[in-house]
Structure 1
Amino acid sequence: MHHMKLKLMLSIIRFNPHPAPPLNLHCRRRFFCTSTSIHHSHWSGLHHWRHSPLNHDRFWGPKGPIQEPNETEINPSSLKSCFSLAEMGSVVLTTADPLTKAKLSHMAYTKWRQEGLPIGASDPPVSPARPSKPQLVSPKEIPPPKSSALPLNAYMLHNLAHVELNAIDLAWDTVVRFSPYIELLGEGFFSDFAHVADDESRHFTWCSQRLAELGFSYGDMPAHNVLWRECAKSSNNVAARLAVIPLVQEARGLDAGPRLVNKLIGFGDDRSSNIVAKISDEEVAHVAVGVYWFVSVCQKMGRVPGSTFKDILEEYNVEVKGPFNHVAREEAGLPREWYDPSSANKEEENNKLSEVYDRLTCVISMEQENSNLGI
């Protein structure tokens, strides 16, 4: 059984650790324990978020989020034949209509929570189903605000809606794709990312509602496929998936959120700014979940999280761009030295000093053992 688990671990985490220092076995064990047991502070609200009741506030009312009045029910026939979380996730991924995808996402998470269904296992589609609009183009082909047919507030909401729609699929793909490895990752991993998918579906619904109030709809301007392309890169590596999506892509949302809120206020659209501010606040949980599970996976690999994060970004050619919202990132538990080069240099010096200390400790320990043996 242990051998099987090890093979599974290697199949989902193909990132090879750096060779250990050329020390004897006793010293290697001491070095390993010291290097990988560094305390990491997680988001203080993580426990409360995990145990919060189901959130049915799918409508943005006059003063904030509320349950939608006169909500039209979707016949969840596609979910009736599903008996696990992973199966329902596959249904969401293969649903093309954006609003239906968002509603099914919430219904799937609700059904799983209320009925106590297992995680199960399922095969994800190669790529999620998408509507005919928006047209997907390269980022360089996205028209600037002045050249688009949308006013600035609708333009920004459309871009955010596209991010949130992709985020629904990114979270469900993580649940479904890695569902065969529940024994290694644990049920909490899948529970967290299904919860993230539910949050993102609510966010998309708010953006879509506000666009409709402004006389527009999702699909009225082109969008890019960068988010899903980054997701596809990490389809065979759970450590890379966590690094690239929550810790890079979603962390960018923490950086952009306050700027977007200020632009909407400057445009005179307080209602949209309130929606974006609420979404931005809730995204802290999603980055925090990514940090929590990335650290957990690194511990299983016997790797130091900070250096592993940098190695993965280099291998997958992922660039981390500023300006950074250091306050929000720190709140989510994302250490500055992981992504900020100016902080990273100082951290590297500290790590080198720590390695020297560990080796000296090993040498002293060996000398003491040899002395006790009369050598």
Structure 2
Amino acid sequence: MISVFEAIRGALLTGDPRDKVMATRRLVRQWRKGDLGFAPNAEMPDRPAWPAELELLPPNRMPKRGRGGSLRGQIALWHSLAHIEFVAIDLALDMAGRFGAEMGEEFVGDFLAVAADEAMHFALIDRKLRQLGSHYAALPAHDGLWEAAMETRHDVAARLAVVPMVLEARGLDVTPGTLERIRAQGDENGAKILERILDDEIRHVRTGASHFARFCAKAGLEPKNHWKMLVQEHFRGALKPPFNDSARLAAGLSRDYYSPVV
């Protein structure tokens, strides 16, 4: 019987976007059916495979998107969202594969569920891009999300603190404004996609926050203080308001987590 860790590694090393989505869905189905073992017999790659034609640029060299209502602006926006969701598949897979042996089967199952959601989000956005006459990897993208993964690859608490509880939580702050702009342009289909993503991301952040709290409880650490220490040590950016306090609270992040760090 193949192990879940081998299956995760295989999905991480799948570069074609549609094939990665299918590989992720397949391994999640196999895990839920009990068809995968739990032997930690496969190391996770330092980098996942991405489309060969995808140009990666530093964040400060990314081209401006243009006006949001123009076709060029719409394509740039949806391409940036596609990249976020594509990398999010790998972030969730890597979380399960890299730290699953240490954290246990429930942890693996929870983050494989996140990976399945991210694969669905990417598929929805990829379809949207193609309807606009473009596709993922047609434009440059930046590597900041995976840089955060590499920064925290040796510490599950740091990974939980930075990826779900900072980077994904930031999506809770910015997505409502993007959703309103898209709806104001008359794009109800796009608005529905973002509504679905926002609902799911609340659950994803809550998954990360819950496992972080469990880790701290086992280690005898106070979660909020340990989170602040890890963010200051491992997150290179700044936590910038405004914050979507209600969505963050629903995700398990009360304001006393992040307000003193601002």
Q: Closer, same or farther in 2 for the Cα pair 1:257/1:147, shift >3 Å?
A: closer
The match for 2:58 is 138
Give the match for residue 137 of structure 2: 219
How far 1:120 sits from its partner (Å)? 2.6
Cα distance in 2 for residues equivalent to 1:272 and 1:147: 17
CA distance in 2 between partners of 1:209 and 1:147 (Å):
22
Structure 2 unmatched runs, 5+: none
The code of the aligned residue for 2:15 comes to A
- In the other structure, the counterpart of 1:60 is none
Instruction: Tell me which of 121, 124, 136 is aligned to 1:206.
Output: 124
- Aligned residue number for residue 98 of structure 2: 177
Point out where structure 1 has 5 or more consecutive residues left out of the alignment.
Answer: 1-81, 346-375
Name the residue aligned to 2:175: 257
1:1-375 paired onto structure 2 within 5 Å: 83-121=2-40, 122-146=42-66, 151-181=72-102, 185-318=103-236, 319-341=238-260
Query: Offset at 1:150?
Result: 5.2
In 2, distance between residues paired with 1:116 and 1:326? 40
Partners of 1:316 and 1:332 lie apart in 2 by 22
Code of the aligned partner of 1:139? P
Bigger Cα Rg? 1
Measure how far apart 1:256 and its partner are. 1.3
TM-score by length of 2: 0.94
Instruction: Return the offset for 1:329.
Output: 0.4
Shift of 1:231: 0.5
SS at match of 1:216: coil
Distance 1:179 1:267 in 2: 43
Cα distance in structure 2, aligned partners of 1:109 and 1:317: 30
What is the distance in 2 between the residues matched to 1:136 and 1:147? 22
Q: Secondary structure at the match of 1:145?
A: coil
The superposition leaves residues 111-159 of structure 1 with CA deviations (integer Å, 9 ceiling, x where unpaired) of 1112342333120111001112321001111111228995222222111
- In 1, Cα distance between equivalents of 2:104 and 2:66: 48
3-state SS in 2 of match to 1:146: coil
- Please state how far the C-alpha of 1:224 moved relative to its aligned partner: 0.3
Q: Deviations over 1:88-130 (max 9, x none)?
A: 1000110111111011101110111123423331201110011
Q: Letter of the aligned partner of 1:142 in structure 2? A: M
User: What SS does the aligned partner of 1:295 have?
Assistant: helix
Query: Distance between the aligned counterparts of 1:317 and 1:334, measured in 2?
Result: 17
Give a deviation string over 1:221-243, Cα, whole Å, max 9, x none: 11100000001011110100000
| Aligned residue in 2 for 1:40 | none
Q: What CA distance in whole angstroms lies between the structure 2 residues aligned with 1:204 and 1:222?
A: 17
d(CA) in 2 for partners of 1:209 and 1:126?
29
- State the 1:303 CA deviation: 0.5
| 2:148–2:235 contact (8 Å) kept in structure 1 | no
Equivalent residue, structure 2, for 1:16: none
1:269 deviates by 1.4
Q: TM-score, normalised by structure 1?
A: 0.66
CA contact (8 A) 1:120 1:179 kept: no
Alpha-carbon RMSD: 1.8
Quote the sequence identity (%). Answer: 37
Structure 1 residue 220 displacement after superposition: 1.7
Q: Distance in 2 between matches of 1:329 and 1:199?
A: 19
Distance 1:134 1:266, change over 3 A: farther
How far the C-alpha of 1:324 sits from its partner, in A, is: 0.9
